[in-house]
Structure formats: C-alpha cells, structure tokens
Structure 1
Amino acid sequence: MIIDIKYHIASLTAVFLALGIGIVIGTSMIGSDTITKQQRNIIDGIEKEFTILREENKQNTEALLQAQEEMSHQQQFNQNVLPLLVRDKLKGRKIAIVDINYHREHDGLANVLRSSGADVQSVTIINLGLLKDENLNKQTAGMLGKSKDTDLEKYLPDLAKLSAEAIAAGENSDLVRFLEDNEVVRISGYHGPPLQDVVLIGGSAKKEEDYFKKFDQVMIKAWQKAGLNVYGVEDSDTAVSYMRYYQNAHLSTVDNIDTVYGQVSLVMAMYGYPGQYGIKETAEAFIPPLE
C-alpha cells in the first residue's frame, strides 16, 4: 500500500494546530472536565495516526526491499541469458557505433555486439554542443573553408558529410585530428573499411539542439550511398526523440538501447528481423522474434 506523505503531513499539522488551540483554551478553563476530555481525545487521535503511519511505512520498506531483490535477480538473469540469445548472430560483421550529442557511455551496447560475434571497429562520440564556443566555431568553419560564414547550422551539413566519409572510408584525417584535439570528437578503434554496419545513437536533450536535418540525415545518406547498413537507436529517456526521423529515412530503429531488451532487439534487427522496436509510441513491437 503506497501512502501519501503530503496528506499525512497536512493531517498531522491540522491536528497539532487543533491541539494548540485546545491547550490555549484549556489553560483559561482549568478544571473543565469537558475540555480535558477533548484534549485527551485529540492526543489519542494523534497517537493512532502515528501508529498507522508507522505500520504503512514498515510495509512500504518491506515492499521496496522485495522489489530491489527481484531487480537484482532480473539483472543476474539478463547477464546469464543475454549471451545465449545473441551468440554468433552477427559473427564477422564489421560495425561502427556513432554516438551524437550524448554525454554518457554505451559500453554495454558495444559489449553485446561483441558477444554476438561482431567486430566493433570504432566507437565515435560527437559533441556538437561544443561548437557553440565562438573561437572553436570560427576555427571549425575555417577547417571547412567557410571562414566567412561561421553560422553553425550552415556549415553542419559539410561537417556531417566529411565526418561520415571519415568513419566509412578513413578519409579527412586532418579534420578528424582537429576535432579530436578540440574534444568535439572522441574515437576508440579505427575508421575505414572493411565496414558493413553503422549504429547511430541519436536524439537530443533540447529542441534547440535538434540537428537531425543538418547533421544526422546528411551522415545517413552518405553511409547509405557508400553501401553501408544504418540502424537508428536512442535511449529510453531521450528528451527529443529521433525515431520518426530515422523511420522516415527507412532505418530499423530501437528506442530503448540503454536496456538489455533494446540491445537484444538491435542484434536481432541486424540479424534479419528489421523493424521498429522498443517502448515508445513509434515502436511497432517490443522486441523482434528470438531464435
């Protein structure tokens, strides 16, 4: 049973206020059996209220401990079963993970892909928010030959195309090195062939940081033109979802890639069950068929 703490606080406050008024009246009417009886009833009521509150709190504590224990068991189950579900599903596949505008790690996703037999060639994290810095903005525009036009959104498509080429073919090393030196890009692994698949982690924290049409979409088209398979994913708590964008670009999608369920869904989508998976209204199913 879940208790409403605000309700109990309000109730107890009212009771204490009434008790205070009763004491004031009582001090001016010492010897009145009626007032004394009323005060006794109020005190008994407070004691009863506290007894009920303590019992409900005890029940809630026990329920919480039970839920935590069940969650721990679920996590242990996931860790033991997940490798069996994905084993050899993506054996030999060459994959790049590209994480745009996020400030969290996705090591779990990379590990699941590796458990499926895939070779995760690179993990690239791109933080476009840093380009709002005036000096870095000017330098980046200069690297792109746009020194007279430092409007971020105007040069983002060029930056996206060159970045996509770098990931797919290992090109534009000077630009990549500049972006790495200024922490706009973080790379582990190596760019270039023989790449087959790109997992694009998108979404944004704020509407004003929605750069899909200027950046993500340009990268997707460049990768598709190069013959790569592209999959669009995001975390379950993403503030501004890109799922509809990805689906309009004809990508298979997973909207809860931060969970074990989402990671299994991605592996199965890449294995041969394309679709729109997850927990949001844009999903067509929670999870693909499992073999």
Structure 2
Amino acid sequence: MINFRYHVVSLISVFLALALGIIVGTTQLNGAVLSDLRSQVHGLKNDKQGLEAANRQLTGQLASSDQFASSIAPAVVAGRLTNTKVLVVVAPGASSGVVGGVSKLLHGAGAVVTGTVDLTSDYLDPRRSADLKDFATSGVVPAGFNLPATADSGALAGSLLADVLTTKQGEPDPTQTERQQVLAGFASLSVLRLASRKLDPANFVVVVSTGAATGSNPAQQVHMVVALSSALRTRGLGVVVTGTADSAGPDGVIGAVRSDDHLAGTLSTVDDANTVAGQLSTVLAVSEEKGGKLGHYGTTKSADSPVPSLGQ
C-alpha cells in the first residue's frame, strides 16, 4: 500500500537525482568554459606582450630619431635666419619643451627673437570676449591704424596685437609709446604675459599651439588663436603655427588652419613639434616663409610632407 512515507522518499529520490544531474552537468560545462577562458586569457597575454614589445621598439626608434635630429639640427639651420626678427607666441597649455626647443633652434639659425608672448586661458575664455572687445575699441589703436569692421572679439584683439607686435618693410609702425600702451593694457586684463613690454616688432611669428581644445566651448578657443595667427600674418611677413598631432585634429588650431582653404594658403603649420625633428621643421618653415613659400608638415594625414625642403 502506497502511504505518505513512500511519497516523501520518492520525492527525495527525485530531487537527489536532479541535484546530481545538475552537479555533473555543471562540472562538465565549467570544464569547457574554463578551458575556453584560459585560452582567451593566454591569447590576450600574448597580445599584450607583443604590443609592449612593439611600443618599446617604436620608443627606441623615436629616441634614435630625436638623437639624430639633435645632432644635425645646428648645422641644418645655421645661417638660415640671420638677423631675421622672429616673435614667439605661446598658446595656453603649450609644452615648455617645445617652446624652448624651437627658440633654441631659432637662435641657432641666426634669428633675432624679439620676445615671447604667453597667452593665458583668459584670452581664450568666451566670458572675457566683452573685455577684449571693449579694450580694443577704447581708443588705444595706434594712430594711422584701423580695426576690422566686426564685432568679433578674436578678430579685434588679434588685429590690435598684430599692429604692435609685427611689421612689414615700407609700412608705418606704431611708436614705442603706443606699442607699450597696448601691451600694458592687454597685460592688465590678464590675457597675456610678457617678459618685457619693450618688444621690437617682428617680421615673422611662430605660434606654439597646444593639443585638442577642451572645455565647454572648444571651437571658440581654437578661433581665438586662429584669428590672432591670421592677423599676425596680415600685418607681418609670415606665420608658422606649430604643435602636436592632437592639434591637427578637428578640435585643434592646426586642424582648423588646414581645413580652411584661405588659412591653409596663408599660414604654414607643423604637427610634430613635440619631437626635435618637428622643432627643426618649424625653423625650416620660417626660412621657407622668408623665401615666399609655405607648407604643412608633420606626421598626420593632413600634412603635405614630413619636413620642409632643405633648398631654401
């Protein structure tokens, strides 16, 4: 006779059988899964080691390239810019190593570096646009000079700075007093820093840019540097914008220059200035500008060639 005890024993037997089946099945499945995971981990480990080896090799090649460029750079640039007046303008965040390397080679080429102008982050800040516009239109424009007919603070500030920082043969220059007044005014706004306000005007300018712009309004930041670079070229004889590969991207100053037909036809650029070879290219590009030629150099796809011609 089937009683309650029989039902209990039967149910226990069924659950034990199910549990045993689950344990056996899971063990077999886990074995396969673990084997596959071990294989994947082994593969990833090999990939990582391969990438590390490739990285070490590339780093070594880059170091060797920089050593070679450092050894030949003095001879390559010697005499190319004798007595040529060159100004260095530094964008916020630009590498001090790039600035120092370019400046050293400019001196080695015989250039007269008239000074260094360090733009601050306030110069690029959209919240300071009204201050720049108000100052530029406050009557400080040197006698005989005119600002562009625009409300664009970048164009206005850039034009005023270009009037006092650059020069062309045969064109009038501001007086030293007018030049100092303008530079002191910009400095009082904390939008730039100067080692000295007694800067002689330069014929050529190297603008050292930073990488890709960040923050709430990267387009405005890029515009401010581009507008200044363009104004310096209009007033002077040549401008080279130099920086890193990041600056050649869509949110970088070099990228903005190269993507605009007018700007690309008036400004030279170098996108690998974080290397000695790029710093050398920057000085050679200034030499090319002196000879009436311009170009776009570096390692990114938008460059015309890796380095300028050595024929100038």
Range of TM-score over shorter length? 0.5 to 0.7
Deviation at 1:253, TM superposition (A): 0.7
Q: Number of aligned residue pairs: give it.
A: 253
Distance 1:49 1:91, change over 3 A: same
Task: Give the conservation status (yes or no) of the 8 Å contact 1:124–1:187.
Answer: yes
Q: Select the residue among 70, 79, 99 that pairs with 1:88.
A: 79
Q: Select the residue among 82, 85, 92 that pairs with 1:102.
A: 92
Distance 1:155 1:129, change over 3 A: closer
Larger Rg: 2
Which ranges of structure 1 fall in alignment gaps of 5 or more residues? 1-24, 147-151, 224-228
Task: Give the conservation status (yes or no) of the 8 Å contact 2:162–2:228.
Answer: no
Q: Percent of aligned positions with the same letter in both sequences?
A: 15
Distance 1:278 1:29, change over 3 A: same
Task: Give the conservation status (yes or no) of the 8 Å contact 1:94–1:120.
Answer: yes
Q: Pairwise mapping of residues 1-291 of structure 1 onto structure 2 (< 5 A)? A: 28-29=19-20, 36-99=27-90, 101-104=91-94, 105=96, 106-127=99-120, 128-130=123-125, 132-133=127-128, 137-138=130-131, 141=134, 144-145=137-138, 153-154=151-152, 156-168=154-166, 169=173, 170=176, 171-188=178-195, 190-193=198-201, 195-201=202-208, 205=213, 206-209=218-221, 210-211=223-224, 215-223=228-236, 229-235=237-243, 236-238=245-247, 239-240=251-252, 241-243=256-258, 247-248=262-263, 250-256=265-271, 258-259=273-274, 260-272=276-288, 274-279=293-298, 283-290=303-310
Deviation at 1:230, TM superposition (A): 1.5
Distance 1:132 1:54, change over 3 A: closer
TM-score, structure 2 length as denominator?
0.64
User: 1 or 2 for the larger relative contact order (CA 8 Å, sep ≥6)?
Assistant: 2
Counterpart CA distance in 2 for 1:181 and 1:158 is 17
Distance 1:69 1:242, change over 3 A: same
Counterpart CA distance in 2 for 1:32 and 1:244 is 65
Task: Give the conservation status (yes or no) of the 8 Å contact 2:296–2:304.
Answer: yes
Deviation at 1:254, TM superposition (A): 1.8
Which ranges of structure 2 fall in alignment gaps of 5 or more residues? 1-15, 140-149, 167-172
Amino acid paired to 2:100: D
Amino acid paired to 1:290: L
